[in-house]
Structure 1
Amino acid sequence: MDKDGYAWLSALGFAFLTYSSAVAVYRSRDDASVVTFVAVAYADLWLLFRCLRALERGGEGANNWRLRAAVWSLVTLLTSMFSYKVAAVMPWPVSVVVWGMAAAVAMGGFWAFFVRREPPSDGSGGNPE
């Protein structure tokens, strides 16, 4: 099957996300903070999927660096938003754990995208022999 053979599955998932976001906005239309949360989360996910697709198709270079930065920023924003919502309804010790896990995800993502070096692609696995 070709690379985009399951594009219909992605489209179906995104259609469900759009539908459920619209329903959430409709049900919460009197609460501006919930509507804003849903709208920002939806926009964040939409941008994240676009950036990930561009990152998969792209090569090396400055554009790749910008795409990585965009993906990391969008994931960190989404993680922070959901951590805020979860921590708000938890007792403070659990809130501390939630925020600690969010920080670990953000730092781990930063390390994976910007600090870690890829092994050489010559098949040697980085072992000079």
Structure 2
Amino acid sequence: MSVKTAGGSPTAPTTSKRISGTLYRGREGMWSWVLHRITGVAIFFFLLVHILDTALVRVSPEAYNAVIGTYQTPIMGVGEVALVAAIVFHAFNGLRIILIDFWSKGSRYQKVMFYVVIGLWVVTMVGFVPRHLINVFSH
């Protein structure tokens, strides 16, 4: 089947699917990739801030104590939940990536492994969050 243009000459057949911009369409592999990058960057910035605030102890112990005092607020306790959530997802997803890379059938089970990662993450967070928040808000 060919399509005639305005000038009357035939053109190549048209298809119903058109790729525009990217091949990703929001599937599990893409979301896994995006979440892995976001959690990795968040963990990096946490470590950077942690190194800087720990270095304050050599510069000014009073400033160090003041910074550590601000970390003992309920807002920072909720921030710790976000940090643990990022670390746990990043760790489980990293194991999934290792399996995909080194297991010959890993890419066939990518979708299943993504949902296993999400399940493990949920179970871990359900075990962590209540206990942590009870400690944060009881002091």
The TM-score with structure 2 as length reference comes to: 0.38
If asked which structure has higher relative contact order (CA below 8 Å, sep 6+), I would say 2
The TM-score with structure 1 as length reference comes to: 0.40
